[in-house]
Amino acid sequence: MSVPSTLPDELAGDIELRISTEPVPYRQALEEMTLRNAAIAAGEARELIWLLEHPPVYTAGTSAALDELLDPRFEVVEAGRGGRYTYHGPGQRVGYVLLDLKKRARDARGFVHGLEGWVIETLRDFGVEGFRAEGRIGIWTRDIDGSEAKVGAIGVRIRKWVTMHGFAVNVNPDLAHFTGIVPCGIEEFGVTSLSRLGKDVDFAAWDAALVARAPAFLASLESPCPPTTSPEEDA
């Protein structure tokens, strides 16, 4: 699918920006992402930021525990990324970020910190205060009852200093679909969405805001950032 005319098809530094307008099956996206990761590492392909949506699926990271798969009502796919179980589905915006960190600061934790910051700043554009939580991977906010809830997931893998996977933000998904797993292994906190928080946001608006903040995200990778989480590395 082509990028809508309101957005560019590349970002500074010859990074391809791809926006899929139809849901992409997870296995298909994973295969393409894996091949692109290797091609970037070999110097045979451009870097890529890919925004897309998946049909309902549960994905298992390398630390996923079987007892956290409560009701496998959807396909379960081994993702190869760090982390535990995550849900992807309609109404959730997924961003796959394939960048060569050899061109930037070789800092895996800084990369994750930068991803988190990119999502947090974009959420702020829609009046949602996102934040990091010590010891809890992901992007958090205050739910409608005042409790802390996850609004975005982060999961990455780095192979030969080229990143893959990325983030998923709950714009308007069916939150009941998350009850089939313990999201990211954290039982005591729930999940929320922009829609649940009263924000009427579509993918076009989200993508435009995210892309507008991409230069700041990319600039943040030029120097080491404070450590926040521990992504799976295969550098």
184 carries an active-site annotation:
yes
Tell me: is residue 88 an annotated ligand-binding position.
yes
Beta-ladder partners of 159: 162, 234
Tell me: is residue 83 an annotated ligand-binding position.
yes
Tell me: is residue 58 an annotated ligand-binding position.
no
Contact 129, 141 (CB under 8 A): yes
Tell me: is residue 168 an annotated ligand-binding position.
yes
97 class by beta-carbon count within 10 Å (0-12 exposed, 13-18 middle, 19+ buried): buried
Tell me: is residue 138 an annotated ligand-binding position.
no
Tell me: is residue 157 an annotated ligand-binding position.
no
Q: Which residues of 4-34 are buried (b: 16+ CB within 10 A; e: fewer)?
A: eeebeeebeeebbbebbeeebebeebbeebe
Tell me: is residue 54 an annotated ligand-binding position.
no
Q: Could you say which of 184, 201, 218, 225 is catalytic?
A: 184
Tell me: is residue 167 an annotated ligand-binding position.
yes
What positions carry a catalytic annotation?
A: 184
Annotated binding-site residues read 81-88, 153-155, 166-168
Annotated binding-site residues for substrate read 81-88, 153-155, 166-168
